[in-house]
Amino acid sequence: MEYQDIIRDWKQLKFRPLYWLEGEEDFFIDQVTAYAEHDLLTEAEKGFNLTVLYGKDTDWSTVINACRRYPMFAERQVVVLKEAQAMRDLLKLEAYIDNPLSSTVFVVAHKQGKIDGRSKLAKLIKDKGVLLSTKKMYDNQLPAWVEGYVSSRGLAITQKAAILLVDHIGNDLSRIANEIDKLLVNLPAQKKIDEGDIEKYVGISKEYNVFELQNALGQKNTEKIFRIIGYFAANPKAAPIQMTLPALYNFFAKVNLIFGVKGGEKEIASALGVHPFFVKDYMGAARQYGPEGTEKAILLLHQYNLRSIGINDSGVEDGELMKELMYKILY
């Protein structure tokens, strides 16, 4: 079950006595717990029927006692246990989960991992309630997720704008969603979000960013490469070298995989684990550099990444280090 399915059921007044939310992606867990805390009950009902507990500050008996109370002046009560992974004797919740109260909606947020699927507790959760198991999204899934999230808010976004946003923020859905929500406050209704909006409201230059540098390198567009590097040198916060070099390393590592792939664009996208939108860029870079040039770029990026953190380096400025690296990759 996806997190949207849980919220959809709640909106239709379909409830189970237990919702166990676990895994690596906090965003999905936070979406469900926030809805449980703020939207399942009316403001009048919350005073008597909403209990929010934190694993590090509570114990199993307090949680069970809260769950076994009956609602007052309402059809149901809501008990939310946040940071469940920090609670001692978590397994002692089995006694309640085995025989839950139907008038209680018990929501457990267990972040940073999962319980043992072979345990008695795991089997009880699946039998008595709803299990939401989350995991981090792969990089190639993020642009499509951004498009879906924007669509759920009643707007649309260009593919390049979605990629630009993801490239800048990385695999942090909470930050991405926060930036999108801020965009929606500032944009007129029905407008399609484009790169200009990302530049204006998120603070990412649509011309001077790691994504554009990567494309310029792939095309061996010398003028554009050094124009972007010059911008980075003058604006160190725009693309810190410690973030830029790993991104370029990953780019060339994926280019290198192409030489061992049999098939067309679909097979290459699958092998590289990238969005199909990117495939032509990687294929173009493979043609520009060939196997030897690609391997050379990977070795140089590793070497200069070490230099950027002070290993085998005498204190060269980041901007000069980047210029030197670009020359060596290109020539």
What pLDDT, on the 0 to 100 scale, is given for residue 189?
67
Instruction: Output the pLDDT for position 299.
Output: 96
Residues 275 and 315 in one domain: yes
Do 78 and 147 fall into the same domain?
A: no
Domain boundary among 134, 151, 186: 134
Do 113 and 174 share a structural domain?
no
Q: Residue 243 and residue 122: Cα distance in Å, rounded?
A: 39
What separation in angstroms does the CA of 118 have from each of 92, 94, 122, 145?
16, 14, 7, 31
How many domains does one find in the chain? Answer: 3
H helical segments located in the chain: 3-11, 26-38, 43-49, 60-67, 94-98, 120-128, 142-152, 159-169, 173-186, 195-197, 210-219, 222-234, 241-258, 265-272, 279-308, 318-330
Give residues with Cβ within 8 angstroms of 12, minimum separation 6.
Answer: none
- Provide the CATH number for the domain around residue 215: 1.20.272.10
What distance in Å separates the CA atoms of residue 275 and residue 254, rounded to the nearest whole number? 12
- Are 126 and 146 found together in one domain? no
| First and final C-alpha spacing in the chain | 52
Q: Are residues 21 and 60 in the same domain?
A: yes
The answer on 264 and 229 residing in a single domain is yes
- Please check whether residues 223 and 286 belong to one and the same domain: yes
pTM over 0.95? The answer is no
Per-residue pLDDT of the chain (331 residues; tens, 9 = 90+): 789 999 999 999 999 999 999 999 999 999 999 999 999 999 999 999 999 999 999 999 999 999 999 999 999 999 999 999 999 899 999 999 999 999 999 999 999 888 887 888 889 999 999 999 999 888 778 888 999 999 988 889 988 889 888 877 878 899 899 989 888 888 776 678 988 888 888 877 778 888 889 999 999 999 999 999 998 888 887 788 988 898 899 899 999 999 999 888 888 988 888 777 788 999 999 999 999 999 999 999 999 999 988 887 777 888 899 999 999 999 9
Structure confidence at residue 32 (pLDDT): 97
**Measured between alpha carbons, how far is 268 from 260 in angstroms, rounded to an integer?**
10
CATH number at residue 175: 1.10.8.60
- In sequence order, the 6+-apart residues with CB closer than 8 A to the CB of 181 are 153
107/146 same-domain check: no
Domain-terminating residue out of 86, 105, 134: 134
Among all chains, which residue has been given the structure tokens 């996208």?
269
- Same structural domain, 122 and 176: no
CATH assignment at residue 31: 3.40.50.300
Residues 115 and 37 in one domain: yes
* Domain carrying residue 187: 139-202
pLDDT at 109: 96
Residue 225 shares a structural domain with residue 314: yes
Q: Which amino acid, residue 163?
A: I
- Quick one: 78 and 117 in the same domain? yes
Asked which of 118, 134, 150 is the last residue of a domain, the reply is 134
- The amino acid at residue 135 is K
Report pLDDT for 190. Answer: 64
